Amino acid sequence: MRLLNRFCLNLSNIEYLYKAEETNIFRNNIPDVANAINKLPELSLSDTLARLKEAFPEANENYDIIVGKSKITEFETFLKKCQKNLDDFMKSVTIASEKSEVDKKQYLELVKNFTNYEKENMINYADNNENALIFFNPSNNDLSEKTIKLKQELVNPFLAFRDWLQEEVLDVEAMLVAIKGLYNLLEQENKLKTKLAELEEDVKKGQQGQVNIFKSIFKKKEDIIAETEKEKDLTQQKINDIEEIIKIVGDSLENQIEIFKNDKTQNYYKYLKIFAILQRESNRVIRELWTLVGNALKDIAPNAGENDDYPPQNENTNAQEQNYAHEEPQEQNYAHEEPQEQEQNDQNEIHEEPPQEQYNENVENQENVEEPPAQEGEEGGEPAE
């Protein structure tokens, strides 16, 4: 659904494709789109050329396919190598995403068991004194609300990387299909030129009286030569059309290679940022929960575990706990924020945030997410594990 949404948004931003008859069939929700499109009459070379001229009015009329083909072929080789790398990357991200989803469910189950323990065990140990509880203490409304909202607030950062790689794989495949389309045109041109040479030879032989015996049984020599001349002219016209088509397609494809490279670069930066924000957000949600637990324990049992040797205590850990204890939980609920409208680039191309239900709504406005405090003596202020 996310990729289909991205496809439709991109399609709507390319006018000549959006208005095409094929797109109308797709847009009108015909049950069997492929079958309906295949029933459309095949375009002749002259019709294809007219459509391309309308779509690409600024195409370079002097484009040299001999020069351009080497660049396109080189990029095709690069893309084929990319496919293997992307496949390996996708496998590792898929495994990480699935593990993250399992970890999320296990964590929710853990918190659920804590709350069940208080309802079934602690309430009896405390002789029905709710003020002795942590999660269900009447004075700990913030902690109760945090526990209830935990399922909505916890996110799986790897979903963003999975979406990014799915886009990457499809875009690489699409570019390879486009390059193959150009090669098919070049092959078609060569076949037409071969046919033209054969027709010219037939006309020459006919003028010399060497007409195909089988044809001469049913037609006069003059008629055969005239028909061959006519077919030769039609073939020449097809060659002229396909040469113009190749210039437009080759020039457009070279331009698309540069756009493709820039788009992939910006997409990489975008998804790295999304992942970083989501990873930080996931850590923030967990940290806030246990900070609230720590604050509740400080009020109810300030000396709990003070003389125990588990877990091992050190100055850095103690300092960090003190910092967390004084940290105010952030009030923003990023999982329910409305996404900001993203600006279009200079070419008015759509670079929409992926419509992912768990992360598209909370990426744009999270630059102000508070970083965890650095441990004393720790370089760079990285958050503790």
| CA 353 to the chain's CA centroid | 9
313 vs 287, more confident: 287
Tokens of 355: 């419509």
- Per mean pLDDT, which range of 235-239, 240-244, 261-265, 323-327 is the poorest? 323-327
- Residue 356's pLDDT band (boundaries 50, 70, 90)? very low
Percentage of the residues of the chain whose pLDDT score is greater than 90:
44
Tokens of 371: 């970083």
Most confident of 217-231, 321-335, 342-356: 217-231
Give the mean model confidence (pLDDT) for residues 258-276. 92
Q: Would you state the pLDDT for residue 149?
A: 87
Q: Is 300 left (phi over 0), alpha (psi -120 to 50) or beta?
A: alpha
Residue 383, helix vs strand vs coil: coil
What are the residue ranges spanned by the domains of the chain? 65-184+240-302
Give the mean model confidence (pLDDT) for residues 267-285. 91
**Closest of 129, 134, 156 to residue 147, by C-alpha:** 134
User: What whole-number distance in Å separates Cα of residue 192 and Cα of residue 243?
Assistant: 11
Q: Which of 374-381's residues contact partners 24+ apart within 8 Å by CB, and which partners?
A: 375/316, 375/317, 375/319, 375/320, 376/315, 376/316, 376/319, 376/320, 377/316, 378/316
Whether 63 contacts 251, CB under 8 Å: yes
Tokens of 195: 């046919």
User: What whole-number distance in Å separates Cα of residue 168 and Cα of residue 260?
Assistant: 11
Tokens of 262: 């820039």
Question: Is residue 131's pLDDT more than 60?
Answer: yes
Helix intervals (H) in 208-326? 213-218, 221-300, 315-325
- Residue 27's pLDDT band (boundaries 50, 70, 90)? confident
Q: Would you state the pLDDT for residue 29?
A: 74
Q: Would you state the pLDDT for residue 311?
A: 62
Give tens-digit pLDDT for 83-92.
Answer: 989 999 999 9
Q: Would you state the pLDDT for residue 223?
A: 79
Give the mean model confidence (pLDDT) for residues 214-237. 79
201 vs 324, more confident: 201
Cα distances from 303 to residues 80, 121, 143, 299, in angstroms, run: 63, 22, 20, 10
Whether 206 contacts 180, CB under 8 Å: no
- Residue 30's pLDDT band (boundaries 50, 70, 90)? confident
Place of tokens 């049913």: 218
- Residue 379's pLDDT band (boundaries 50, 70, 90)? very low
Cα distances from 101 to residues 125, 130, 166, 353, 363, in angstroms, run: 35, 34, 18, 22, 19
Residue 321, helix vs strand vs coil: helix
pLDDT, the chain, mean: 80
- Per mean pLDDT, which range of 30-44, 155-169, 215-229 is the poorest? 215-229
Residue 311, helix vs strand vs coil: coil
pTM above 0.75, yes or no: no
Q: What share of the chain is helix, strand, coil (3-state, %, to 5)?
A: 70, 0, 30
Whether 226 contacts 31, CB under 8 Å: no
CB atoms within 10 A of CB 51: 14
- Residue 246's pLDDT band (boundaries 50, 70, 90)? very high
CA atoms within a 13 Å half-sphere pointing along the CA-CB vector of 226: 5
Question: Is residue 51's pLDDT more than 60?
Answer: yes
**Closest of 367, 152, 180 to residue 273, by C-alpha:** 367
- Residue 64's pLDDT band (boundaries 50, 70, 90)? very high
- Residue 318's pLDDT band (boundaries 50, 70, 90)? low
Cα distances from 381 to residues 78, 243, 373, in angstroms, run: 39, 62, 7
Q: Would you state the pLDDT for residue 210?
A: 67
Tokens of 55: 């779509």
Q: Would you state the pLDDT for residue 176?
A: 96
Would you call 84 exposed, middle or buried from its count of C-beta atoms within 10 A (0-12, 13-18, 19+)? exposed
Q: Would you state the pLDDT for residue 218?
A: 56
Q: Would you state the pLDDT for residue 70?
A: 92
- Per mean pLDDT, which range of 176-190, 229-243, 339-353 is the poorest? 339-353
Q: 170: part of which helix (H) or strand (E)?
A: helix 158-207
Question: Is residue 328's pLDDT more than 60?
Answer: no
